[in-house]
Amino acid sequence: MLQKPRGTRDFLPEEMERRRLIETRMRTAARRWGYREVCTPIFEHLELFTMKSGEGIINEMYAFEDKGGRELTLRPEITAAVMRMYVNEGKVLPKPLRWCYFADCFRYERPQKGRYRQFWQFGVELIGADTASADAEVILLADAVLRTAGVAFDLHVGHLAPMKHLLHGLPAEEQREIMAYLDKHDLAGLEERLGEKGLGDLFTSLVGLMDCRTPGEVFAITGDLPERERIEETFAILDAQGIAYTADFGIARGLDYYTGMVFEVFAPNLGAENQILGGGAYRLAHLFGGDDVASCGFAIGFDRVMVSLGELLLEGEPIAGVVCTPEARARALEVARAFREAGIRTEVDLMERGLGAQLSHAAKTADYAVVLGKREIESGRVTLKNLHSGEQQEMTLADAIAEVTRFGTC
């Protein structure tokens, strides 16, 4: 028996309905903020991602050569593809551009719990606005999207300027090494490493920066920075909007990628691998032949969101099962069409079962049975049976539809 490829999953109807429900909530939230959905190809030129992340990323991707000898890859993320699309299609559009996306991505690595080779991201990109208001809007939108989805989360907001200031003057390789320690929260290892290099004061400053919870505390360590006004304005907007967040100037990811504001979101009920969102301000378009446009965005790990939500209860939507005797089959199709045109999920028997077997099947799959036999054909009515309570009553088709519709709104 053939199995699904390693690192992939099958989703049965109930799970797909849960996923579509949360997708819809996220899309609706983004649309309310003026973000419109875009879509990019599922595969791109390999160079698109090596230009952004270096050659080392190739081993983490599904890279291949097509029949024309072109080096391609299944997309490992969406931001680079969206910026490529901006350079190709969007430079002349009125700015700022507010784009969002929902897409599956692919990574070639050892599958493990919560990490699959095919995974899904929801994200937004705000292109062309280089202001504190733009930074704040993206954070506020992330908060709105996750609250709309029903996720319990902790939001951490920071800015890379203070960290970059402290690391200024160190070789790039040493900066990356320090950031790796910080990213792993290995302060003991970092203290030992910086002590070996005679950089104990730097360690003290970094730890102090990680403990800061207001911009004022940050500037007491770093002194004034060119970005001070923007940092203070961004946090002032967040405070004025009353959202819950933690100021976190120890965010260490993406020092080579992000240019200013950064933020991360964690779901406390996911254990160690609990980050569900990452985002910040960046500049990428110039790498792909475009202008040096300011951008800001985030990506949500949709699969982790679904795990965090757990056994999500689906919104009630009644199902009607039309059951009939052989002489009523033509009428059954008419009745089913009327129910469907009223927006009710409706199933009819396709197995040519007897009336009893049809009712038995409907009891497993539906909320109501719409019974049609000789008496109903003669009267032009239907018998509606509530499969939860067992109550049944003969009534007009219109009344039956109204009753089932009422059930769905209770």
Is residue 255 very low, low, confident or very high in pLDDT (cuts 50, 70, 90)? low
Give yes or no: residues 303 and 380 share one domain. no
AA identity, residue 194: L
Give yes or no: residues 397 and 284 share one domain. no
pTM: 0.91
Give yes or no: residues 57 and 114 share one domain. yes
Residues of the chain above pLDDT 90, percent: 83
CATH code of the domain in which 395 resides: 3.40.50.800
Give yes or no: residues 365 and 289 share one domain. no
CATH code of the domain in which 123 resides: 3.30.930.10
* Beta strand spans in 356-402 (E): 368-372, 382-386, 392-395
In the prediction, which pLDDT does 107 show?
A: 94
Chain mean position to CA 157 = 19
Give yes or no: residues 274 and 362 share one domain. no
Give yes or no: residues 291 and 338 share one domain. no
Does residue 408 register a pLDDT over 80?
no
Give yes or no: residues 405 and 272 share one domain. no
Does residue 182 register a pLDDT over 70?
yes
**Residue whose pair of structure tokens reads 């990428």 in the numeric block:** 284
Q: What share of the chain is helix, strand, coil (3-state, %, to 5)?
A: 45, 20, 30
Six-digit token pair at 405?
A: 């519709």
- Give the whole-angstrom CA distance, residue 356 versus residue 324: 10
- Give the whole-angstrom CA distance, residue 330 versus residue 383: 16
Backbone angles phi, psi at 45, to 5 degrees: -65, 135
Which residues constitute the domain of residue 294? 13-153+267-309
Q: Is residue 302 in a domain?
A: yes
Q: Give the mean pLDDT of the chain.
A: 93
pLDDT 10s digits, 100-144? 999 999 999 887 777 899 999 999 999 999 999 999 999 999 999
pLDDT 10s digits, 319-374? 999 999 999 999 999 999 999 999 999 999 999 999 999 999 999 999 999 999 99
Is residue 183 very low, low, confident or very high in pLDDT (cuts 50, 70, 90)? confident
